[in-house]
Structure 1
């Protein structure tokens, strides 16, 4: 027999929660109207939009992907895992691994031909990298030439793709056949350089806004990297960034992560009516998510309250075998923690890949007045990349 709820029960259900004019929806609208002047920050995987409230126009900034140098630095970073991925394809019997390897070799050679200091200084021109362009050019030159050389030799001698040998010679830089700079160091450096730029610009932009941080409402909307990533405070790179930017005045309880909320269409915000609709939508999302918080506090004030805690990151030492959260990096030379973070973001589907290099950069920028020139970069500051064909001009 097909089941269908009784219509009178359905009407009773709708009176509180489902109908547009329900008790719950009405309260949410009233709470939203009472706080229409409260600032609201909407963050996506690429943009920040600050709705200051009171009908004032929003301010926006892009902090990832479409920014200068992101694709270049990420392309180099990917070479650290491209060779192991090809090794695994070969191990699985994929007949296309060698063709893919040759394509990668050719593109590495092409990039190496035009990579020079002027490209990074004058075309990419990332403010946070100013003064480091020559070393970045060396890093790129070294990584491209080493990748091409290693793969050319591996095509002729596939035993180079055995994982024990690959780990020792390429990733760790150990043994008589080791590369001069381990690719673990290169990946740490490229992750950190990307993070340095994004965090520096975001902190600068936030400091220029007139934000009442204790009252600020925050929505992190939509997808953040992988479909499964960035769904908690600990795994979303924006949460600690906003907390530090606020001088730790941001109330964690007023930040919600809404993976199914629509992303902001920045171009539409130029239209006043579209902008008003977008702001109304996000304020509705915020209050529909958190209106129950206010009610719980007046209904059950004598019972234990919920408080979001920001857990301290675990410390990795020589004996640590398992971690269940992103470990803290204690210094630029804390290589075990740095590489553990690389493994963590690849192994935990909930983690954002970008977080591998972000926290140490954020800590240093926060401690040094957001001055990139005072920041030490893992795998870079105290590492010399052999100069090859890089042009000095």
Structure 2
């Protein structure tokens, strides 16, 4: 016989916590109302939305997929993974890998024909990439041409898809048949270029909002990449971005990462009634998570308090064999740390893939007044790509 709690005990339970009119939920609503003038920032996987408080309308910025150049530069970044993935499919006996390889070759050639300085300068027109258009054109042409050439040769000679050969001659360089620029550099460059755009625009928007950072309530809502990713301060892109934008004034304890919170598209906020209801729900949600903090401090002020701290990122050196957190990049030439970050985001299911290229770019933008022209880009600034045949 299935166990069911006695309904009288259930009602006692519900009176405090789970009923719509429970004591706990009533306090959450009251706290949300009492602090309706405090700013609240909603961060989704693609947007930042600021509710300034006091009934004023929200403002927002799309920092990822809806932005110019994201899919173009990410498509090039993926080519650094495509050949190893096809190699692994071949090892597993998947005969479709040859057809997939031919399709990838054909599409690389199509993109080569479309790729030009004018395309990047006039159509994509990313502000943070201004002045880099010719080099981006070279990078794209080189990556597509090298991918197509390597796969064409590998179809005729599958031994090229051996992972030892791939590492020495395609990914890392140094092998007898190494490509001119290792694909580790290509991936580092494209990750960093994507981060340069999104971080630059996000910082610019945040600085324009006149936010009272010490009072700011933050909800990081919905999914962020893989279902298991971005669930901690250290593994979520938004946390270090907001912390740097605030000049380290943001209280980490006032930021909630809530994958179950609804992530509403900013376009819907054009409806003022919908916007008011959504804001009220988000404020109630924030206090639903943190009302216990206020009560704890009132109930037990003389006992040790909880303090949320930002952990120091580890440093990678020649002897480092294992890291348990995303390592810091100390310079544009710190290739061991840069590639370790690439491995880390693929190996740790809690990590957001985009964090691989973000930290070094964020640090430089923060130190240089958000001026992208002063940022050194790994795998790009000090790396020469063969000139594109058509630019």
TM-score normalized with structure 2 length: 0.99
User: Matches of 1:148 and 1:2 in 2, distance apart?
Assistant: 62
Instruction: Point out where structure 2 has 5 or more consecutive residues left out of the alignment.
Output: none
2:214 is paired with a residue of what secondary structure? coil
The answer on 1:17 being equivalent to 2:14 is: no
Q: In the alignment, is the contact (CA less than 8 A) between 1:361 and 1:375 conserved in 2?
A: yes
- Detail structure 1 runs of 4+ shifted over 4 Å in the superposition: none
Q: In the alignment, is the contact (CA less than 8 A) between 2:173 and 2:181 conserved in 1?
A: yes
2:244 is paired with a residue of what secondary structure? helix
1:18 is paired with a residue of what secondary structure? coil
User: Matches of 1:303 and 1:94 in 2, distance apart?
Assistant: 61
Structure 1 match to 2:227: 227
User: Matches of 2:63 and 2:175 in 1, distance apart?
Assistant: 40
Structure 2 match to 1:373: 373
- Give CA deviations for 1:228-278 in whole Å, capped at 9, x if unaligned: 000000000110000000011001000000001111221210001010111
The answer on 1:350 being equivalent to 2:346 is: no
- Give CA deviations for 1:170-193 in whole Å, capped at 9, x if unaligned: 001112210000000000000000
User: Matches of 2:2 and 2:135 in 1, distance apart?
Assistant: 71
User: Matches of 2:22 and 2:255 in 1, distance apart?
Assistant: 26
The answer on 1:257 being equivalent to 2:254 is: no
User: Matches of 2:390 and 2:352 in 1, distance apart?
Assistant: 33
The CA deviation at 1:338 is 0.1
User: Matches of 2:137 and 2:353 in 1, distance apart?
Assistant: 24
Structure 1 match to 2:205: 205
User: Matches of 2:297 and 2:339 in 1, distance apart?
Assistant: 44
Structure 1 match to 2:52: 52
Structure 2 match to 1:118: 118
User: Matches of 1:199 and 1:359 in 2, distance apart?
Assistant: 10
Structure 2 match to 1:176: 176
- Give CA deviations for 1:136-185 in whole Å, capped at 9, x if unaligned: 00000000000000000000000000000011000011122100000000
The CA deviation at 1:390 is 3.0
Structure 2 match to 1:155: 155
Instruction: Point out where structure 1 has 5 or more consecutive residues left out of the alignment.
Output: none
Q: In the alignment, is the contact (CA less than 8 A) between 2:39 and 2:53 conserved in 1?
A: yes
User: Matches of 1:318 and 1:111 in 2, distance apart?
Assistant: 38
Q: In the alignment, is the contact (CA less than 8 A) between 2:32 and 2:280 conserved in 1?
A: no
Structure 1 match to 2:191: 191
- Give CA deviations for 1:290-317 in whole Å, capped at 9, x if unaligned: 0000001111111111111101100000
The answer on 1:82 being equivalent to 2:86 is: no
The answer on 1:302 being equivalent to 2:302 is: yes
Q: In the alignment, is the contact (CA less than 8 A) between 1:112 and 1:389 conserved in 2?
A: no
2:145 is paired with a residue of what secondary structure? helix
Q: Map of 1:294-333 to 2, 5 A cutoff?
A: 294-333=294-333
User: Matches of 1:99 and 1:159 in 2, distance apart?
Assistant: 17
Q: In the alignment, is the contact (CA less than 8 A) between 2:138 and 2:386 conserved in 1?
A: yes
User: Matches of 2:286 and 2:21 in 1, distance apart?
Assistant: 18
- Give CA deviations for 1:193-212 in whole Å, capped at 9, x if unaligned: 00000000000000000210
Over aligned residue pairs, what C-alpha RMSD do you find?
0.7
User: Matches of 1:304 and 1:369 in 2, distance apart?
Assistant: 39
User: Matches of 2:156 and 2:364 in 1, distance apart?
Assistant: 45
2:17 is paired with a residue of what secondary structure? helix
TM-score normalized with structure 1 length: 0.99
